[in-house]
Amino acid sequence: MVREVADQGSVFFKRNSRQFVIVATAAGLAIAGAKAYSSWQQAQPSPETRVLQISTPQIKTVTALGRLEPKGKVIKLSAPSSSGQGSRVEKLLVQEGDSVKTGQVIAILDNRDRLEAAYQEAQESVKVAQVNLKKVRKGAKIGEIEAQKAEIERVQAQTTGDEREQQETVARLEAQWQGEKSAQQATINRLQAELKNAQIEWERYQQLYTNGAISQSSYDSKRLSVDTITQQLNEAQANLQRIDSTGRKQINEAKTALSKINATGGKQVSAAAATLDKIAEVRPIDVEAAKVEVNRAIAAAKQAKANLDQVYVRSPQDGVIFDIHTRSGEVVSNDGIVEIGQTNQMYAVVEVYQSDVNKVSPGQKVEISSNSLPSKLQGTVAWVGWKVQRQNIINTDPSENIDSRVVEVHVQLDKPSSQKAAKFTNLQVKAVINVDRQLATDN
């Protein structure tokens, strides 16, 4: 009985102690909470100075207007500027919507025939220059060389003949001069002998006349004979001087002519020999000059080929013909001949307000929409412009058409979206740029 009472007391004690612990713990927590609340309440500002804090909603998208463009924008293909003003299209080889490849001929201009003829002429000039170079390198023809050798022989023979003939003339004049002098000297000698005899006879007759042996007439006749012979002797001596002077002069003239023949003949032979050397010699300077002519002809041919190539207006890239501005027979317009774009890769050029452009960066996803599109297009920001400019794309809401400042952002469409947008170049679209991920990264 006592044991049961003791057991009950033990149980009661255990229960009461457990409850006590719980109550005590609760009381301690209450006291600590009251103190903490009191401290917090003291730290809080008074109702008069408390500031109301309002959280700002996070911007997740940037919306802007834009337009669809092919890769590289739309190219207006025109005639080359070197073709001059008023170029006319002879033949147009494409239609709107045709796909073209890089280098494909789009149109042919009307000056093709003239430039083709100029190119052919330039090619022939190259051939002529090349043949002339071969001739210079090979030298003169054998026939020309032999003909010049024959000319040298002819000049030498003629010179020899002229020399021989003139030498004979000199010899003849000298012989004639000697003969005439000898004959005249003989005449002088004869007259001198006659004069001597006449003087002796006259002196004898003079003695006889003094002695009165002969008459006056006989004496005078002897004296006249002396005078006559003396006069003849003087004339003969004068003739001898004339013969000597004339003969010497003729001989000197003949010898001068002979010397002239010798000199002239030598010069003619030397000139002919020099001509032969010139014909037979292959001079390096002549070869170089011929090479220069070949190079000049080749350069002219290249220029003619370049001019001819410009007649064929070719596509600078793969793409599609958007529009035709000039047709066959028409003068090339100021807008060119055709418009070409690379529609296999389309872009949206979006005009983002300058206040929002700092939220946009390459790699962000973009959703493109328009009432003209069958469905929304998807793309990625590829490039953000560096220049702030006036807004060019106008909203349909007149109240929003203000003088806004924007920055161009290029959005590259994915392949399915590019296929959908291929026929909608310059279509106005609305772009929604997802900037949430970028902002989260910045935060």
Task: Read off the pLDDT of residues 208-223 as tens digits, 9 standing for 90 and up.
Answer: 878 877 888 887 888 8
For 91-116, what is each residue's pLDDT tens digit?
Answer: 999 999 899 999 999 999 998 899 99
Question: What is the predicted pLDDT for the residue at 243?
Answer: 86
- Measure the CA–CA gap between 171 and 88, rounded to whole angstroms: 90
442 vs 279, residue with greater confidence: 279
Confidence of residue 387 (pLDDT cuts 50, 70, 90): very high
Fold of 61-111+319-442: Elongation Factor Tu (Ef-tu); domain 3 (2.40.30)
Domain 112-139+284-309 maps to which CATH number in 2.60.40, 1.10.150, 1.10.287, 3.40.50? 1.10.287
CA distance 90 to 155: 67
C-alpha dihedral, 285 to 288 to 290 to 295, nearest 10°: -160
d(CA 63, CA 392): 16
420 pLDDT above the threshold of 80: yes
Can you give the pLDDT at residue 7?
Answer: 41
Q: Which long-range contacts (CB under 8 A, 24 or more apart) does 193-196 make?
A: 194/229, 195/226, 195/229, 195/230, 195/233
Token pair for 214: 């002969």
Q: Mean pLDDT of all residues in the chain?
A: 81
- Classify residue 90 by burial, with Cβ atoms within 10 Å: 0-12, 13-18, 19+: middle
- b or e along 57-82 (b: 16 or more beta carbons within 10 Å of the residue's beta carbon)? eeeebbebbbbbbbbeeebbbbbeee
- CATH superfamily membership of 142-280: Helix Hairpins (1.10.287.620)
Q: How far from the centroid of its chain's Cα atoms is residue 188's Cα?
A: 96
3-state secondary structure (DSSP) of residue 360: coil
Task: Please tell me the predicted confidence (pLDDT) of residue 342.
Answer: 87
